[in-house]
């Protein structure tokens, strides 16, 4: 088993040393990093470049083991107790130093102090932890989730609480979940609100779910020309409750990617170039698993060749890439995760990555890429290089005429300069072509007269065509985007 471990190469949990350096601090960083992450093994007597087993001479073996034990005891705070043992592989002896994931985090080098001596494992290296990561390690050690802490100074509003409860019920209904009346008592049970001396107190999760109180609680969305960030085509910054940011971010992506359609008999079948389920999962996961102690914002970026969602914070609590790919999950934000589960945004822990992978495979897209770097986590969903399918000719000459006049477009507002309300009207009518102006107004949240004026403009552009009576008719959307 040890031989298999040795030849698997260095990783988040394995590091090799041919010999130990004179200064113990150089390898104590690795010991500390293992304790702050998921544990691991430091193997002495193996070349880190060739993986060749060099071995440790028997006459210095026990002196070496004692030296490691003393260095760990003298250098690391809080105390780390590694398992140090010799192993024989191919007739040669190596020393295996096994470190378990620590429970009293953060661990750091005594000589450097907590701020400058706390290390974590990233891929196959030991790196100095960012200040935000140190705070998170402190909370892990105290078994605390930041979103469940009291948000000092943030008021508990009756209106905001009722709206949150109503929105949870609305999301549950939309997700096909059983009817469940939600009130402030449920929010207390779910640790979104706290009671203290007869008063209701807001948690950080409550603030995130009811407002844009925190400056970092934003989703930055952008469309770029080409495959880098040199030229903006469009950008938008989303604020407000994080679940509304999720909805709006998904809408932003769908507005700015291609939508193709075919006619099968009398049935119109439409398909976005990227699977909406994968888009939704990427954005939900970013909000659910981000590090809330990091004041960076979630970013949603659309390039010519890919969709990219980046969230602050690497994999949580020592979780490895391999574990993530196999459906394992660790909950960073317990309050948010619980509410997302109650709203039907999260179906089962650890299933989001699988759904992204499966959706991409079903669409015939390249395998999505997952990256952890610089205290960030990024998911990339790649667009196909070939053009989207176009509507069949038997849709009608009117549709063809308008498509020829404006061209096949990949983002509505870029090509024909529709406003946000007009885009929302088109999206809703593509989902249900019998919606009335009153129902559209209710869905979008604006006055019906505003809806009517925008519909008039869309009719003038030839994008909307009304068929039948005002009561029993339906809308034809002639524009594919």
- Closest of 278, 176, 142, 303 to residue 228, by C-alpha: 303
Domain with CATH 1.10.10.10 in the chain: 394-477
Report H helices in 76-203: 113-117, 131-141, 158-174, 184-189
DSSP state at residue 138: H
Domain with CATH 3.30.950.30 in the chain: 2-142
Domain with CATH 3.30.565.60 in the chain: 219-382
Q: Which residues pair with 203 in a beta bridge?
A: 150
- For residue 326, give Cα distances in angstroms to 321, 329, 353, 354: 9, 9, 9, 8
- Closest of 250, 255, 243, 252 to residue 217, by C-alpha: 243
Residue 6, pLDDT score: 61
Distance of CA 233 to the CA centre of its chain: 24
pTM score above 0.95: no
Tell me the two tokens of residue 241: 């409750």
Farthest CA pair distance, the chain: 97
Contact 203, 384 (CB under 8 A): no
Tell me the two tokens of residue 320: 């490895």
3-state SS, residue 222: strand
CATH topology of domain 394-477: Arc Repressor Mutant, subunit A (1.10.10)
- Closest of 106, 135, 94 to residue 37, by C-alpha: 106
> Rounded to whole angstroms, how far apart are CA atoms 299 and 309?
6
Side-chain half-sphere CA neighbours of 149 within 13 A: 11
Mean pLDDT by 10 residues, the chain (481 residues): 63 91 92 94 93 93 96 97 95 96 96 96 88 92 93 96 97 90 95 92 98 96 94 94 98 92 66 95 96 95 97 81 76 94 82 90 94 89 64 33 35 56 88 88 88 89 81 75 44
Residue 275, pLDDT score: 96
Contact 111, 75 (CB under 8 A): yes
**CATH node for 2-142:** 3.30.950.30
Residue 481, pLDDT score: 44
**CATH node for 219-382:** 3.30.565.60
Contact 102, 40 (CB under 8 A): no
């Amino acid at each position: 088993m040890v031989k298999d471990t040795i030849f698997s190469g260095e990783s988040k949990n394995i590091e090799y040393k041919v010999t130990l350096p004179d200064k113990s601090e150089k390898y104590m960083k690795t010991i500390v990093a293992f304790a702050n992450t998921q544990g691991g093994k430091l193997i002495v007597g193996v070349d880190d470049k060739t993986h060749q087993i060099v071995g440790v001479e028997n006459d210095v073996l026990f002196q070496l083991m004692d030296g490691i034990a003393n260095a760990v005891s003298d250098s690391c705070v809080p105390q780390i107790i590694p398992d140090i043992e010799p192993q024989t592989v191919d007739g040669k002896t190596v020393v295996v130093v096994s470190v378990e994931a620590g429970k009293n985090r953060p661990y750091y080098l005594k000589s450097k102090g907590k701020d400058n001596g706390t290390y974590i494992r990233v891929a196959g290296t030991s790196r100095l932890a960012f200040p935000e990561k140190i705070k998170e390690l402190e909370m892990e050690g105290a078994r605390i989730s930041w979103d469940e802490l009291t948000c000092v100074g943030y008021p508990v509003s009756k209106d905001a609480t009722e709206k949150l409860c109503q929105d949870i019920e609305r999301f549950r209904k939309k997700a096909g979940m059983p009817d469940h009346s939600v009130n402030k008592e449920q929010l207390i049970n779910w640790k979104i609100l706290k009671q203290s001396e007869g008063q209701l107190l807001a948690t950080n999760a409550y603030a995130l779910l009811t407002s844009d109180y925190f400056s970092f609680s934003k989703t930055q969305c952008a469309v770029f020309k080409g495959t880098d960030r040199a030229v903006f085509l469009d950008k938008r910054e989303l604020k407000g409750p994080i679940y509304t940011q999720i909805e709006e971010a998904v809408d932003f992506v769908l507005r700015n990617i291609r939508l193709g359609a075919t006619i099968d008999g009398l049935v119109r079948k439409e398909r976005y170039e990227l699977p909406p389920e994968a888009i939704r999962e990427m954005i939900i996961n970013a909000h659910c698993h981000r590090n809330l102690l990091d004041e960076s914002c979630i970013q949603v970026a659309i390039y010519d060749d890919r969709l990219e969602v980046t969230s602050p914070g690497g994999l949580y609590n020592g979780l490895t890439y391999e574990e993530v790919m196999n459906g394992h999950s660790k909950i960073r934000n317990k309050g948010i995760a619980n509410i997302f589960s109650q709203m039907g945004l999260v179906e089962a822990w650890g299933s989001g990555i699988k759904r992204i992978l499966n959706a991409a495979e079903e669409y015939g897209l390249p395998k999505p890429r997952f990256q952890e770097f610089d205290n960030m986590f990024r998911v990339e969903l790649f667009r196909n290089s070939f053009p989207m399918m176009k509507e069949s000719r038997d849709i009608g000459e009117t549709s063809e005429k308008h498509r020829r006049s404006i061209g096949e477009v990949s983002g509505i507002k870029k090509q024909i300069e529709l406003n946000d309300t007009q885009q929302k009207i088109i999206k809703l009518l593509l989902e249900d072509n019998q919606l009335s102006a009153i129902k559209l107004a209710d869905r979008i949240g604006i006055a019906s007269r505003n809806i009517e004026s925008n519909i008039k403009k869309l009719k003038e552009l030839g994008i909307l065509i009304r068929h039948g009576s005002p009561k029993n008719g339906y809308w034809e959307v002639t524009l594919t985007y």
